[in-house]
Every structure is written in C-alpha cells, then in structure tokens.
Structure 1
C-alpha cells in the first residue's frame, strides 16, 4: 500500500524550508525564518500577537514590532503553498498555525518515542543538522536546539550499543562515526567508536581516533584521556579486544529513550501501590506519542528494581 505524501512538509533541522510535492521554498530573511520556526514548533496553539512581536523584535518599540509582525505575516502567507495559506489564522489578539496533523514537521517526527531499531534509525536520519541554523539570537530556539542535539547524541549512542549487542559491528561503526563527528570530546563516544572500528577490522582507524583525542586534549586542556580510554587503546594495540563479545539477549524489553522524569514518577507510584498506597493515574497525550510504551517501560523498570517478576498489566 503506497503512503500518501503530506500536503506540506516543514524542515527545521539543518535548514528552514517548506516542501509541497516537488516544490521547495527556502525562506531567506532571518526574521521570516524565525517566525516560521516559532509557528511550526507550536501548531494549533494561539500565540499572543504582542508577545510574538516582542520575541521576534525585542529591540523595537511596541508599535514598530507589531507593524513588522503584520508585514511578515503577509509575506509568509504569500510564500505558503495555496493549500496551507488558510492554516495561518490571524486575529487581532492571536496568531495560530492551524495546520492539520497531516502537515509534517521534522522536529515533531524526530521527538516521537521509539521502540524499535528501525524507528530509531529513521529518527536519526531525520536529524540533518541543528534546529533553525543561522538563528543565534532567539533564546527559545537556542534552548530547543540544544535539547534536540542532546537527544540526537543519546539516540546515536543507543544505536551503537544496540547494534553491538547484536554483534553487528559494521552498523555499530556506521553510527559510531557519526556520533564522534558530532561530539569528538565525549570520551564515552570515542570508546564506543574505537571498539566498533576495531571489531569491524578497522584497527588503524580505532588507534588513530585515540591519538587524535589525546592530541586535542593535550593541546586544549593539558590533560590525558581517561584511564579506561587509554586501557582500551592498549587492548586494541596489542590485539586483546575480543571480537566475540557475548551480547546479552536475555532482555526482551523494547528500546526506550528519554522521559526519565515521567518514568521515575510512575515507578515511584508503583512502589507506593505495592506498599498499600494505591491510586489512579492518568497518562494523557496525543495519539502516537508513546503513552503505552511509557507505561510498559515503567512496569519493566519497576519489576527490575524490585527484583521480582513484572507486575501484571491488563
């Protein structure tokens, strides 16, 4: 069954552009790019007109900021594909990007919860670069950008470990190279990449990676790599790294990333229930965001911490 192309796709990772079928629209003006980014990241949410104007033009007086917003809204509407122009709802008090769920935003797709390796790799492919590149003076965008970057690095580490657990060294090495290219100062990432490289037969690449790290640390910080990184280097150098690492395949738990606060809260509530202090808990959210997976992971973690079998779920 063929998938139906979305009426509009908004790219915010690595670029800012609109895609409708074969047509692509790049937004050139920075203020217009900022406006589109704010709207796309908050679909179907009424944004106060004054607040949005002051966010985009904080150094202008209120009247000028509102006038700028009015002109940019008119320009943005003219650049939108005809089908999407009615989604930009403007009133005297609020601005709403009223796009339907079929309108794809790469950030939202990237932020969905993942439970399989296929979903994780698909999410990693979505991350083509930082959020809204070129926008460096908007605090809201900068905070979201860093959160997305950290999520991406965590995803890459999880992919490397998952493929190593399955003894698929070439796939682990593919994601490990990408991980180190984005975060070359993370020694845990470097160790993962060194291990994956060595186990694919790229022993020279693994050793070169350590030498580059040691050189950079000495030049920039006047320190040496961590002892465990150096120990791994010597293991690879002297052919002591076992290729037949035995992966732990005993766990059938799905892969799960993020939601640490929510998971901990659910685990604490389960612990209270086990001690006779039960209560009703509602987990709400949009369809497809991972509510069931969140509860299943919390149940699994509670069972693992308690040292008994997992609670029954009906």
Structure 2
C-alpha cells in the first residue's frame, strides 16, 4: 500500500542522531513532520503498528493536508487490525470469515476518510488518481458501507450480532433479521439509517469514481484481469449494500406510517410489551431517543404517533 521511504534519509534531513529512533517516547512533542514520517516507516517495516500509528497521527495533527501522513496513518490503522492482503483474499474468495469484521469496522472510517481526502485533491504530496489510494478506498470504503448498515443498533459489533436488523453471511450477502422486531428495535435502526444514509451513498458514489480512476491507469492485461476478479468479488457486497438501503427505506417508511393501528401493533411485535409509558420512554432513552421530538424529527410522517402511543397506554 505504501512505498517504503529510507529511514536513514529522513534522519539526515531532520538532523537527528540515528540512535534517537530508540529514544522517542512521546511523539506528541515532536514537531518535525519528515522525521515523524520516517519513524512511521521504520515502525511499519518492523511491524510495530501501534507505534507507527502514533507517529503518523502526530504528523497528521501537524499537517492535516500532508497526503503521505494521511496514507501512513491509514496504513498503520489497517495493519493494526488486519493485513491488507487478507482483505483482498476475502473478496477474491468471497469469504467474509477471512477478515476480522469488528477490527476492520473500527479502522475503516479513518482509512476511507483519509483516502477520500487525497482523492478529492485536498492533500499535498500524492496524486488524487494514485492507483493504490483509489484501490484502498474502493475496497475499504465499500466494506465500511456494509458495516455501517449492519450495525443498526450502533454498538460497534457487526459480527453475528443478533440484535442487529441485518446479518452478514459468509458469502457477503445480507440476511434479513427484521421479522418480529419491536418498535424500539425499529426506531433505533430507523434513526441510525437516517443519519448514515448520506454517508453510505457518498461512499458508493466515490467508489465508482475510484474504480474509474483505477481502470483508466491499469496497463498490463494480467493486472486488469486480477482487478476484474476483485470487482467480480465485490458484486455480492455492492448488491448487499443496495439491498439494505432498500430494506432500511422500508423500515423508515414503516415508522413513518401515521396509521395509529400500525404504530401500536409495532409496539407489541417481537414479544416487546412495556407495562407502562415510563418503561417505554426509558427503553427509548436507552437507545438514544430521549424525547418524542427526536423521533418525529427523523420521521416527519409520524405525525399521529404521539396520539397512538397515548392511546396504547391509556394516557
């Protein structure tokens, strides 16, 4: 993913003693970006990814528009969780079990954001059409879109979390887990999807741009054939993302239905039967809905919802 820069060269540029690489204990006090990049490369080569991440993160803090710092930070964040080759292997073999999903989920947001900053020409030092940058965004950005949809309850767990509305199968298809779910489950998922939908759509749009940038630069037939196998493996992933977007739209439409009977029926589904209104509102608060207005702001069509809830509890 990265071209390894000679660490010794960086030492000479920064005027630092070679042995000082072993004396860095607090990267937050270092102000020489080139030196930090060199240290990051050193730690990447030695597979000390936590230390590499600290160095690159400090470099990004000092120069947020430094493309090499952004790429290095993303590289370290990824390698802390999983070798990049494992991501490629999982997609080529169409086997989601080959990647630690929660680990990649933790790293994917930063990786995608950093790559996108470079692709949009907002960082200096690397071409926005760089094949490696665009390839990483294409792979990780699409997977992040999947994880954002899977994590419907927002707890950071996407590995067979039965509390989520959707489950990722081994072949990257999505299993629908929305049947017989309570109002609270659907309310939480609906608000989560409403908030994340613009980001997910943006990821999909830029993954198309990344793919175009990549295909426009591949020269050898062998490379093009390999990348074709990658894009073929992504067909299930892309289809899953689009399916969940459609299904999540159905969830939000269901919540947005202002028919009192439909809303009150939702309350009792999945065996959910709050004994009183206080219990119900406490349950909503536990998923981040602290007042009814938060729900109606996300679903404007839920105009009759308050009356339905009041009638349900005899208020």
TM-score (norm 2): 0.29
Richer in strand (by share): 1
Richer in helix (by share): 2
